[in-house]
Homo-oligomer: A and B are copies of this chain.
Amino acid sequence: MATKAFPLNAWYAAAWDAELRHELLPRTLANKKIVMFRRSDSRPAALEDACWHRLLPLSKGRLKGDEVVCGYHGLIYDAHGRCTFMPSQETINPAACVRAFPIEERHRFVWVWPGDPALADPALIPDLHWNDDPHWAGDGRTIHVKCDYRLVVDNLMDLTHETFVHGSSIGNDAVAEAPFDVTHGNRTATVTRWMKDIDPPPFWAGQLGKPGKVDRWQIIRFEAPCTIAIDVGVAPAGTGAPEGDRSQGVNGYVLNTISPETDSSCHYFWAFVRNYRLGDQRLTTELRDGVSRIFREDELILEAQQKAIEEHPDHIFYNLNIDAGAMWARRLIDRMLAAEGATGTGLRAAE
């Protein structure tokens, strides 16, 4: 069995909705060079970014209506990848086509399926519905991180790192000290951590706007292979949040989907949405910029970790208690890889 970093039969976020216009947008996804564009009716299209004739990236050419004109010799392809024009000749070689990829738009992202098109069921698009739900408001960004996407998954599945990496904003000792539960299904794993009756960290104290101790929650939901929605928030201590009444508190979701670009780089799409002060655009901007600063701290750590892993190809990794969530995420990824006849090239764990 070959080793691979990611399954091909999966929907990967390839762009934000607003990024994709009626123009050619090149992007590498799952080691494949892809060119995307919106058609006149706004439906997205995705083609292999290499002309059949001499391999020039089609993204160096231009759109003509809903077709792509190669920038070298002028071959034209329709949105299905079929060649419709060749220069200086009447007949078109029927083999002349480039690969078209299944593409769908949902939850403010454009999703591409790099694997077998016959398996590309839109029902399998990961659930990030909070991102275009009128009961939630917020925005996000994309970070290009030079690491295996699984290192980002590890990072998000264990938030004790907040204490050490993000101590000035969202981390405090309580995160590292509080116990947590891990559950899992066939495609999902969930880490639940309640920190009861604690001093809120600076970020949440500001959001709540009330003095005193809080009950804080972090409920991390992983959906294989690379989507993580984190239900986060605080409520005044003792007002019933752990039992289900969050009405006195503030609630947000950190939405993350981390698409492999290559074996050692990824496009990390994230958004932060909240269920309070929905129309406050200044707050939306402040939160987006604040989370950007926090994720920049992770980015430096993750890229240093990727380099270190490449420098220690034989290192055997031992897991701590805090790694329980990440271990489940990796198991679910490995199952998808096994279903494609491949094995993961993840961390060599001692067990």
Interface residues of chain A, those whose CB is within 8 Å of chain B, are: 33, 50, 52-57, 60-61, 69-74, 86-89, 93, 95-96, 154, 158, 160-161, 163-165, 176-177, 179, 300-301, 304-305, 308-309, 311-312, 315, 317-318, 320-322, 347
Contact = CB atoms under 8 A, between A and B. Distances in A.
A164 B312 CA distance: 44
12 contacts: A50-B315, A57-B304, A60-B304, A69-B164, A71-B164, A71-B165, A71-B301, A73-B158, A74-B176, A88-B160, A88-B176, A93-B320
A61 B304 CA distance: 12
A161 B72 contact: yes
Contacts of A95: 318
Given A73-B161, A74-B164, A87 B57 contact: no
Given A33-B311, A177-B88, A73 B305 contact: no
A322 B88 CA distance: 7
Contacts of A60: 300-301, 304
Contact of A320 (B53, B158, B309): B53
A301 B315 CA distance: 38
Contacts of A160: 73-74, 87-88
A164 B305 contact: no
| A-B pairs, 6 with minimum CB distance | A55-B308, A74-B164, A87-B176, A89-B321, A87-B160, A88-B322
Chain copies in the assembled complex: 3
Nearest to A86: B320
A93, A95, A304: most-surrounded residue (chain B CB, <10 A):
A304
B164 A318 contact: no
Contacts of A53: 317-318, 320
A322 B73 contact: yes
B56 A304 contact: yes
A89 B320 CA distance: 8
B320 A73 contact: yes
Nearest to A317: B54
A154 B53 CA distance: 13
B87 A320 contact: yes
Contacts of A96: 318
A305 B72 contact: yes
